[in-house]
Amino acid sequence: MTKQRVAFLGAGNMAEAMISGIVESGKFSPEQIIATNRNNQERLNTIKKKYGIEAVTKDQLDFSNITVFILAMKPKDVESALADLKDHLKPDQLLISVLAGISTSYMEENLNERQQVIRVMPNTSSMLGESATAICPGQHVSMDHVLLTKELMKCIGEAYLIDESQMDIFTGIAGSGPAYFYNLMEHMEQAGYEGGLDRELARKIGAQTIRGAAQMMLEQEETPAQLRKKVTSPNGTTAAGLEALAENGGGKAIAEAVKGAASRSKELREELEKVFAEQK
């Protein structure tokens, strides 16, 4: 892995979360990572100092010795970024995009024939190395590049290979999901506070409870339904809690949240596709 060089085209929040995870993982050395942006020199200096990586404006980047480019700008800037890249990219160089709503086919259409592209979708927990990240390879990608992408994404959490047609529902669960649990924790905190606990303590207890339950799920080979049944004695406190939950929408409310977010992801993607089609 020592010779691979990874260049970020974009040095904003998402790029920083990924750079931090990649450098901290120790799997890639800081010398292998380059961050670029359009012109914000102050931001480049900060990133350079913090992670020990190279950081230059996009016009100063030497494209020739890069293995992987990671597109990390806002989706509205993708068209000009691809136009800039097209003349520089070689067939063996990989382009990974983290841009929401930008399909692999859009990238392929706007680059050279048979260009290797992969779309990924990390979530905000990548800052802690706890992202649930989707990986969708384009049509012309080599297996080695899929594996390299998986290795990079595993630096920021867990990575899952999915079909691109599943990206909206993935977004409904993993992209928007952290907010559902923040909302759940808001309510746990409030109920704990109203029940007599210090607010901050109630917040920590709620968060640790969610973390513990998620850990049980991930480490034990049991389904959530099996785990739920195991901790629910007839007529006990958990049964009473679950009954009250069901009376107020229960877990089904979360299923509806996932579907609602997935449907909005589809709408936003279609709006973006319309804008790009009109620009042609």
Ligand X SMILES: NC(=O)c1ccc[n+]([C@@H]2O[C@H](COP(=O)([O-])OP(=O)(O)OC[C@H]3O[C@@H](n4cnc5c(N)ncnc54)[C@H](OP(=O)(O)O)[C@@H]3O)[C@@H](O)[C@H]2O)c1
Computed on alpha carbons and rounded to an integer, the radius of gyration of the chain in Å comes to 22
CB 149 within 8 A of CB 120: yes
Measure the CA–CA gap between 19 and 269, rounded to whole angstroms.
26
58 near ligand X, rule: CB under 6 A: yes
At what angle are helices 237-247 and 250-279 packed, to 10 degrees? 50
74 near ligand X, rule: CB under 6 A: yes
Burial of 215: CB neighbours in 10 Å, binned 0-12, 13-18, 19+: exposed
59 near ligand X, rule: CB under 6 A: no
Measure the CA–CA gap between 78 and 102, rounded to whole angstroms.
8
Residue 58 or 269 with smaller CB distance to ligand X: 58
Q: Select the residue interacting with ligand X from 19, 34, 47, 73 (CB under 6 A).
A: 73
6 near ligand X, rule: CB under 6 A: no
117 near ligand X, rule: CB under 6 A: no
Q: Select the residue interacting with ligand X from 18, 28, 34, 36 (CB under 6 A).
A: 36
Q: Looking at 3-11, 142-150, 158-166, 195-203, which segment touches ligand X (CB under 6 A)?
A: 3-11
CB 145 within 8 A of CB 40: no
Distance from the first to the final alpha carbon of the chain: 40
99 near ligand X, rule: CB under 6 A: yes
Q: Select the residue interacting with ligand X from 122, 137, 138, 157 (CB under 6 A).
A: 122
Q: Select the residue interacting with ligand X from 48, 63, 67, 77 (CB under 6 A).
A: 77
129 near ligand X, rule: CB under 6 A: no
* Interstrand relation of 6-9 and 157-161 (parallel, antiparallel or unpaired): unpaired
Distances (CA, A) of 212 to 157, 204, 205, 223, 276: 17, 12, 10, 15, 44
* Size of the residue set binding ligand X (CB under 6 A): 28
- Which residues, 8 to 27, sit near ligand X by CB under 6 A? 9-15
Residue whose beta carbon is closest to ligand X: 12
Q: Which residues bind ligand X (CB under 6 A)?
A: 9-15, 36-40, 58, 72-75, 77, 80-81, 84, 98-100, 121-124
